[in-house]
A and B are shown apart, each in its own frame.
Chain A
């Protein structure tokens, strides 16, 4: 559907977190919802905002800024919850605002430079530049699953 079919094309949903731009593969995004009050879970890590009712199912919501170690953001009415599906598990990610959907090819993505301690989960899987802005492509699985070890 695009001329850039020479390599696999990928569509990314970009959004803002603490004035930075991040993105997720749009195939893992199920829907985007406005902010609603969450029911907090006792003794949960601070990035676990709690659970919300998503049409009859219980959806856990985490604050993505806090999850990534950014400073928690003030709640505004532009806050949205991106509902993502990873391995058939639905999770809500609270972000500051959703910006755009961009289409890229694999060639446009660069691997992030090695700079983290090797044992830290690599949450940013790639980087790309759009209109002179750097956009971080997040690796959903490390965001959603690596918590398991910490909680157990």
Chain B
């Protein structure tokens, strides 16, 4: 798999990508079940996800994965057919199995060591659910009775096919099919499409060989002369005489991946009748069947969409097998094998997978376009053209188009936080099991879209916060009951768009922060002086100090004291902020505010001390021109502006950035009134406002110097770089410098 030239590696990689989607669907379905959704389609989705993973794993010979998925699937089938109702215990096991399945997928991908003991444990739990029937069942993973067809078809099968299913899933009906150990005659003729999807007859023939003794005859009758031969067409057919103890269904399973892409006829030699049965249904309901003659050979529709999801890389290999077989030699094994091609269960819309690098490139190009457009606009303006000239009108149109393109490109990168939240629900399950608490995760706003990079980099800090909430945040159940709360603790995870940023909150309904204890620990550890007097908010913020740990008992789950400061650092690295609020007895809320995208910003371009700066437009609520009467001095060096709603602290942006000495005379100064999502206000003195426009965010490489108060940079129309301000940071720094809003000595508690 490490060989980059291995054609399988690519297919394998795409299988694992698909697995991720399937696992997501699986989690979704289980969550829905857990929430009381009894729609039969829900369990179908769950079932299909497991089934598809199993199918794909089979194609790659991932034995462990197949075995586990198969048993899981068997149990799910019981639920699906209504013979078993998923009670709480069952649902819990299902979740564990889903988690384990995703572990197995990951391990299989990385070729890691398999956790056999966990597998065995879960298998026995599953067997427990099945009761006696399940234990007897043999482990043959290739047994196949259910098809992974698009939803509607599957439902149809359910209605009619329940009895058939039994034949496969349960030993009860086995005598029907197991009585024979005989010869089968299999007629197999690939359609052209079979090769287009990267399948390879050779592998199927080999799979048959594994089942028993094979005699293979190749039919060359249809093979045209060389000059009329179309290399992409399939001319060959095979008749295989197979002597085996295997069931017919097992044979059919060998062709599972090509159903609908070939003509297949499996007959028992003794009872051979002359019906030629098209295959696409064989794998579905052949289970206990006698060949159903009335199947019509309408081949493509059911499976056709699947081939659309092939990675393009496979296409080039498609003609090859056809060529080799035209030479009437057995198809060469170098051709790609049958990948597990299933449309993902919910995939009604078509999806293209694109390398992230390509998107990145597109984003960068669009960024250049925006800058270029701004340059053009500037030079046209300078040329003194009439604003009503064609050029200017064209420019306006250009501007609009640029903006549209930019929005669309950004949408490509945006992803719902759902996948992230699903990972967190697993964290909650594991964490709560580890500390022996009963915890339920409630999520909200799963469809909130955030830039992909942000999502990826949020996983670690969020994991930590969730664990903290379960371990430290929630009380144990006795304490909860004593406090008059439901025994089951709740952790909430919400995401929402708020004023141009994404706010993600992790909250628990636990006991809240024990502030006296936090204080004491901070004093004990020498983080604050013993006589410090801190406000509640400042005490809460002590949690973010490096080397702080509150858990009286350090559990192996969290509480190693490296926690929250690391979380805060990683959030800040994303351009985000984290804040904490807590009510004793009611719980604690951590709130993370993140920029929506790392790429564009609606900005206000201002001039301060000869420098051009950009402020995020969404924080500017008002612009004012000051008169002397508006400004009041609180004490030397600290001023406030009187605005309708009250007094707002006044800062000189030029001074705060170190660009100039403080302004002495406020008369006539232009100020921007800034409001942040935490409700704080401030007024910033600037020299002039230049423009409001969309700017492309360029990351500032802060590897050797991180400028305070600066979030990023952008490139202006004249090619110069302008800095984008992080107003909240500026004001925090300014407050820290003047001590304006914090009369108490804080001694680095907020640093």
A residues at B contact (CB < 8 Å): 37, 39-45, 48, 51-53, 56-58, 60, 89-91, 144-145, 147-148, 151
Partner of B720, one of A37, A45, A148: A37
A41 with B723, Cβ < 8 A, contacts A53-B715, A56-B371, A56-B715 known: yes
**B706–A151 CB distance below 8 A:** yes
A41 with B705, Cβ < 8 A, contacts A53-B715, A57-B698, A58-B699 known: yes
**B705–A48 CB distance below 8 A:** yes
Mind listing 13 A-B residue pairs with CB under 8 Å?
A39-B713, A39-B721, A39-B722, A40-B611, A40-B659, A42-B656, A45-B705, A51-B723, A56-B364, A56-B698, A89-B701, A90-B701, A91-B704
Q: Please tell me if B708 contacts chain A, counting CB pairs below 8 Å.
A: yes
**B709–A53 CB distance below 8 A:** no
Partner of B658, one of A42, A52, A60, A151: A42
Closest to B367 in A: A56
A58 with B721, Cβ < 8 A, contacts A40-B611, A43-B658, A51-B713 known: yes
**B705–A52 CB distance below 8 A:** no
User: Which residues of chain A are within 8 angstroms of B699 by Cβ–Cβ distance?
Assistant: 58
Smallest CB–CB gap between B684 and chain A, Å?
A: 13
**B700–A147 CB distance below 8 A:** no
Closest to B706 in A: A151
**B721–A43 CB distance below 8 A:** no
Assembled-state Cα–Cα distance A33/B364 (Å): 22
User: Which residues of chain B are within 8 angstroms of A43 by Cβ–Cβ distance?
Assistant: 657-658, 707-709
Q: Please tell me if B710 contacts chain A, counting CB pairs below 8 Å.
A: yes
User: Which residues of chain A are within 8 angstroms of B658 by Cβ–Cβ distance?
Assistant: 42-43
Closest to B371 in A: A56
**A53–B704 CB distance below 8 A:** no
Assembled-state Cα–Cα distance A147/B705 (Å): 7
Chain A facing B: main interface SS: mixed
User: Which residues of chain A are within 8 angstroms of B115 by Cβ–Cβ distance?
Assistant: none
**B701–A60 CB distance below 8 A:** yes
Given contacts A43-B658, A52-B721, A151-B704, 14 further A-B contacts (CB under 8 A): A39-B720, A39-B722, A39-B723, A40-B659, A41-B705, A41-B707, A42-B659, A42-B708, A45-B705, A53-B721, A56-B715, A58-B700, A144-B704, A147-B705
User: Which residues of chain A are within 8 angstroms of B703 by Cβ–Cβ distance?
Assistant: 89, 145, 148
Q: Give B583-612 as 1s and 0s: 1 = Cβ < 8 Å from A's Cβ atoms.
A: 000000000000000000000000000011
Closest to B704 in A: A147
User: Which residues of chain B are within 8 angstroms of A57 by Cβ–Cβ distance?
Assistant: 698
**B707–A42 CB distance below 8 A:** yes
- In chain B between 696 and 751, which residues have their CB closer than 8 angstroms to a CB of chain A? 698-701, 703-710, 713, 715, 719-723
Assembled-state Cα–Cα distance A40/B710 (Å): 11
B residues at A contact (CB < 8 Å): 364, 367-368, 371, 611-612, 656-659, 698-701, 703-710, 713, 715, 719-723
Closest to A90 in B: B701
**A145–B659 CB distance below 8 A:** no
**A44–B611 CB distance below 8 A:** no
User: Which residues of chain A are within 8 angstroms of B722 by Cβ–Cβ distance?
Assistant: 39
User: Which residues of chain A are within 8 angstroms of B719 by Cβ–Cβ distance?
Assistant: 53
User: Which residues of chain B are within 8 angstroms of A148 by Cβ–Cβ distance?
Assistant: 703-704
User: Which residues of chain B are within 8 angstroms of A53 by Cβ–Cβ distance?
Assistant: 715, 719-721
Closest to B716 in A: A53
A44 with B707, Cβ < 8 A, contacts A56-B371, A57-B698 known: yes
A151 with B705, Cβ < 8 A, contacts A39-B722, A42-B658 known: yes
User: Which residues of chain A are within 8 angstroms of B723 by Cβ–Cβ distance?
Assistant: 39, 41-42, 51
Smallest CB–CB gap between A37 and chain B, Å?
A: 7
User: Which residues of chain B are within 8 angstroms of A39 by Cβ–Cβ distance?
Assistant: 611-612, 713, 720-723
Closest to A152 in B: B706
**A51–B700 CB distance below 8 A:** yes
Assembled-state Cα–Cα distance A148/B704 (Å): 4
Smallest CB–CB gap between B7 and chain A, Å?
A: 31
Assembled-state Cα–Cα distance A39/B368 (Å): 19
Smallest CB–CB gap between B615 and chain A, Å?
A: 14
User: Which residues of chain B are within 8 angstroms of A58 by Cβ–Cβ distance?
Assistant: 698-701, 713, 715, 721
Closest to A57 in B: B698
User: Which residues of chain B are within 8 angstroms of A37 by Cβ–Cβ distance?
Assistant: 720
Closest to A149 in B: B704
Closest to A87 in B: B703
User: Which residues of chain A are within 8 angstroms of B710 by Cβ–Cβ distance?
Assistant: 41-42
Smallest CB–CB gap between B696 and chain A, Å?
A: 9
Assembled-state Cα–Cα distance A56/B716 (Å): 10
Assembled-state Cα–Cα distance A145/B701 (Å): 12
Smallest CB–CB gap between B609 and chain A, Å?
A: 10
Assembled-state Cα–Cα distance A45/B708 (Å): 12
Assembled-state Cα–Cα distance A146/B411 (Å): 39
Assembled-state Cα–Cα distance A52/B720 (Å): 7
Assembled-state Cα–Cα distance A51/B612 (Å): 13
User: Which residues of chain B are within 8 angstroms of A60 by Cβ–Cβ distance?
Assistant: 700-701, 704-705
